[in-house]
Amino acid sequence: MKKRIFDIIQIGNREDLPSRAFDWFIVLAILVNIVTMFLSTFNAFQPYLPVLHLIELLTAVIFCAEYILRIWTADLLYPDRSPAHARLRFLRSFDGVVDLMTILPFFFLDGFVVFRMLRVVRIFHLFRINAQYDSFSVITGVLYEKRNQILSSLFIIIVLMFASSLCMYGAEHDAQPDKFRNAFSGVWWSMSTLLTVGYGDIYPVTFIGRTMAIAIAFLGVGAVAIPTGIISAGFVEHYHRREHESTVLTDVSQVGEILVEKEHALCGRTIREAAADFGLRVLVLLRNGLTVLPAAEIVLEPGDILVVSSDRLHRSNRSKKRRFL
């Protein structure tokens, strides 16, 4: 029974109807809980607050029961550990923390509504949106790969923020002593300016202050664009790398070697002519034990070995026949 419960409450197998039904039931409970939370903030639904609170209580009981079952079956999730260590491992895991943080606001942290929104992460997890090769994994992978550059750019933004705050204090303190009381009073202004938010509650009134504010605003646009560009470049590199890997895997089945002999049809032709006449894509030229880049004007000589890829070779591999030029 324990093994069957474990199979049902884990990420559902599409071929297992009870497991898929449980996933949909949890998704429905999450959506109902979130909708109830939002509806309780409208004045028009104040007369229905007891009903909404009852629905919220029922969904919280469902989440608690699921959390207890997951703790109970943790030894099946981590079979290489003892039951106590397996349960502790689950409690410290991402899924365990998310499950706990979605339950606590109902009992102890009612003001922390943001914790309840973590239930949305459960929906992503249930439908494998955070699988190994999809978007969330790509995002975390890119952020990890570019972590040093991102941290450096954030350091630049912080330094620029404090520097601009100090500059505005020197320019605006005498004109606005209530707004710029000290060097740190301008941090709020510099943050809203550098991040191009511009709330307008604090602004310079002197000529020097406004001139500096224009320069700081331009610097802010460039500073904020730095981490954005780093992350964008990371995504481009990641997808190019994946495309290259898939291309290499595709080409492996189409690669072959051709030995150029004296009476060979390719002997005396340039690589460009060989590629055009025989439909070949020359990857590498091996000559006298050396690896030569296949420049278009290189004339093929007896003894050369061409590492090529072509549709002909691919078709011959599929038909299990060897063809020689």
**Does the CA dihedral 64-53-115-29 come out positive or negative?**
positive
User: DSSP string of 263-319?
Assistant: T-TTTT-BHHHHHHHHT-EEEEEEETTEEE---TTPBP-TT-EEEEE-HHHHHHHHT
- Pull the structure tokens for residue 88: 């502790």
Domain range annotation of the chain: 2-130, 147-248, 254-318
Neighbouring residues of 227: CB distance < 8 A, sequence distance ≥ 6: 149, 150, 153, 154, 157
Q: What is the CATH number of domain 254-318?
A: 3.30.70.1450
Q: Are strands 290-292 and 281-287 parallel, antiparallel or unpaired?
A: antiparallel
Q: What is the pLDDT of residue 318?
A: 45
Rg of the chain on CA atoms, in Å: 32
Neighbouring residues of 14: CB distance < 8 A, sequence distance ≥ 6: 20
Level-2 CATH architecture, domain 2-130: Up-down Bundle (1.20)
Q: What is the pLDDT of residue 314?
A: 46
CATH of the structural domain 147-248, one choice from 1.10.287.70, 2.70.70.10, 1.10.287.990, 2.60.40.420: 1.10.287.70
H helices present in the chain, as ranges: 2-9, 17-39, 49-72, 74-77, 83-92, 94-107, 113-116, 119-126, 135-145, 147-172, 187-194, 207-252, 271-278, 311-318
The model's pTM: 0.49
Per-position pLDDT tens, the chain of length 325: 888 888 887 765 667 788 888 888 888 888 888 888 888 878 888 888 889 889 888 988 888 888 898 888 888 888 888 888 988 988 888 778 877 877 777 776 555 556 666 666 666 655 544 444 456 667 777 888 888 888 888 888 888 888 888 888 888 888 888 888 887 777 888 887 777 666 667 788 889 888 988 888 888 788 878 888 888 888 888 777 766 655 544 455 567 788 888 777 788 888 888 887 777 788 888 888 778 878 888 888 888 888 887 655 444 444 443 443 4
- Pull the structure tokens for residue 208: 């020097």
Residues 100/67, Cβ–Cβ less than 8 Å: yes
